[in-house]
Amino acid sequence: MCKYKPISEKYPHFLHGGDYNPDQWLNYPKILDEDIRLMKLANWNVVSLGIFAWAALEPEEGKYQFECLDRIMDKLYDNGIYVILATPSAAPPAWLVDKYPEVARVDSNRVRHLFGGRQNHCFTSPIYREKVRSINRKLAERYKDHPALIAWHVSNEYGNDCHCDLCQEAFRNWLKKKYDNDIKRLNHEWWSHFWSHTFTDWSQIQTPSPHGETTIHGLNLDYKRFVTDQTIDFFKNEIAPLKELTPNIPITTNFMGTFPGLNYWKFAKHLDVISWDSYPTWHGNEEDWVVAYKTAFVHDINRSLKGGQPFMLMESTPSVTNWQPVSKLKRPGMHVLSSIQAVAHGADTVQYFQWRKSRGGFEKFHGAVVDHCGHENTRVFKDVKEVGEILKRLDPIIGTSVKPEVAIIYDWENSWAIEDAKGPRQEKKDYLLTCQSNYRPFWSKGITVDVIDMESDFNRYKLLIAPMLYMLKDGVAERIKQFVKNGGTFVTTYLSGIVNENDLCYLGGFPGPLKEILGIWSEEIDALHDKDENCVAFDEDNELGISGEYKAKELCEIIHLEGAKALAKYKEDFYVGFPAVTVNSYGEGKAYYIAFRNNDDFVDDFYGKIIELLNIKRSIDIDLPIGVTAQLRTDGNRQFIFLLNFTDEEKALDLKDIEYIDIVDNGILSGKVVLPPYGFKIIEKRN
């Protein structure tokens, strides 16, 4: 079965709503009633409330003002609108920073920040933790039994680090724990005798700084791990009173896609439900269907973070952002399509930032449901209303998920290590883009994919893909070997098996612990200039049945066979004739190695053959034109298929002679179906 409980039993339907900031409009007494009228018209059923409201809720230390929030909560509930209530720690009030300046964060230049911005606090500060717990307890005590409360939105977009004396000491204590209080072991794992960086006392260790130490990769990596752990520890302090007083109210915080500052795989374990903020750049320099598969990749990460459990689309823009280089309007159809895309990949909510445009401040020109004109007679409002109408018809999809046969490893710590490495290129390392490139052929064929980290369970998949698996933590290679030995198919690429979890290079040849399973030895890697190209040609009668030649760019690894078979070879330069694609039989399975960076034509052809060989199931067995995908959600019995057209052209599909029910329009579909520009269908096979 692939069925999960709804986010809240109080309202077991799709949630549709978003950020609501009535604290900005306290001097406009009639605006609440007008907001509620408009929310009902827009088919909203939930708001995220109080995200930056600390100054309104506690205008002076220890003096709380909840009466206005009481009135708002009551009125919303009386009108059928539920509340995801936020804790306000992301933006402390001025009085707090003025009285306790030590709560402000210190940046890597060792400069303590003044009041302002957001997430501008020290996550170690005992005073800040105490003040956060105090207001969170007050909120939980006051609203624990309020019928409108369905979830907690804790803080907002965690993301900053701190380098104050408290954090320095906390980092040293974290290191002592990791290295068993053995500084000699730390020196070895950091290889700190390089450049005479050996430490003889824990007090000598400082967090990375541009005018201090930045060249010890083990230090940089451990500091990033510490920031994740310390942020989680701060989060646990925040939620303690919520867990105590409202144990049945789910808790979330909004993630930011592939934000590099935190390892969301570790953070996810402490959330009841995953939520994230999605802001693609539609209609920009890339074709919309390219933006779509990259966005889908991140949706799939968020579904995978808790093993397939549906997630919350906590923020998206109903029209534009105000912070992207070019804030282009969503073209007609795109808002509805991009909202349904999130649902197709596992979202049980569609939410926005923001409800009403602010009159002033940093985000006064950020998209909103209600524009500065203040009424419903806008294109954007109508789009939002339409999304709400569609979601009302999708109740059978609530809580459904999918069990893919394919997984791609995208690992935050691996990304950190690759970005910090000095070579083989300083630019265009492109770990994320490479993972997305390997994901695209499956998206294009309508095959669902989990996006996991290297510590996840591999055994549920037929095919495991690990692009640029530069770092191998202890035990990962052994689990990959067991996966293949038991009949799984493993694919990895250049720049894999290079370092251990502390960024020490493996000795004895690359790809380190993966040499045996891959049956190769990687001797060198050639970094090409952007103008350079090589060429890779498949051998005649290779077992994949691929013919033709493919461009090699940017990175070309020079490998030797140690048991594997060559499927394709380089055609140019001094490594002409060397293997470029290999396969190695291992136990009941196979392991493939791709030694060069390639273009879309290669991954299309390569994975197309792998899909055929493994008989990997598609969401629907039809041909999909370029720019159209099919995604699946199921409860184990009923299968809901999302057909999504991310182009500005009509696209025709052939459903053959099978009859499907259109879930939105309740009609019957068969044979030829035309998706309009930025159009979609949600269908279920008719019994």
Closest C-alpha among 290, 286, 310 to residue 299: 310
- The CA distance from 205 to 144, in Å, is 45
Closest C-alpha among 414, 505, 420, 415 to residue 213: 420
DSSP per position, 491-508 = EEESS-S-B-TTSPBPSS
Closest C-alpha among 85, 89, 152, 87 to residue 120: 89
| CA contacts within 13 A on the Cβ side of 549 | 8
- The CA distance from 357 to 30, in Å, is 16
- The CA distance from 677 to 650, in Å, is 5
**Side chain identity at residue 503, one-letter code:** D
- The CA distance from 235 to 228, in Å, is 10
Between the alpha carbon of residue 489 and those of residues 566, 583, 625, the distances in Å are 17, 10, 27
Task: Please give the angle made by the CA atoms of 71, 76 and 77, to the nearest 5 degrees.
Answer: 100
What angle, rounded to 10 degrees, do the helices at 165-178 and 217-245 form? 100
Can you count the helices (H) and strands (E) in the chain?
17, 27
- The CA distance from 310 to 395, in Å, is 14
DSSP per position, 220-235 = HHHHHHHHHHHHHHHH
**Side chain identity at residue 588, one-letter code:** E
The token pair at 500 is: 């251990």
461 secondary structure, DSSP code:
-
Task: Please give the angle made by the CA atoms of 135, 35 and 77, to the nearest 5 degrees.
Answer: 60
Between the alpha carbon of residue 186 and those of residues 135, 212, 222, 472, 569, the distances in Å are 40, 19, 11, 19, 42
Strand ranges (E), 317-410: 347-352, 406-409
**Residues known to be catalytic:** 157, 315
Q: 622 - beta bridge partners? A: none
In 345-475, alpha helices (H): 379-391, 412-420, 431-444
Strands 565-570 and 579-586 turn out to be: antiparallel
What angle, rounded to 10 degrees, do the helices at 217-245 and 126-143 form? 30
Check the CA dihedral 141-143-149-151 and report its sign.
negative
Closest C-alpha among 143, 10, 138, 7 to residue 73: 143
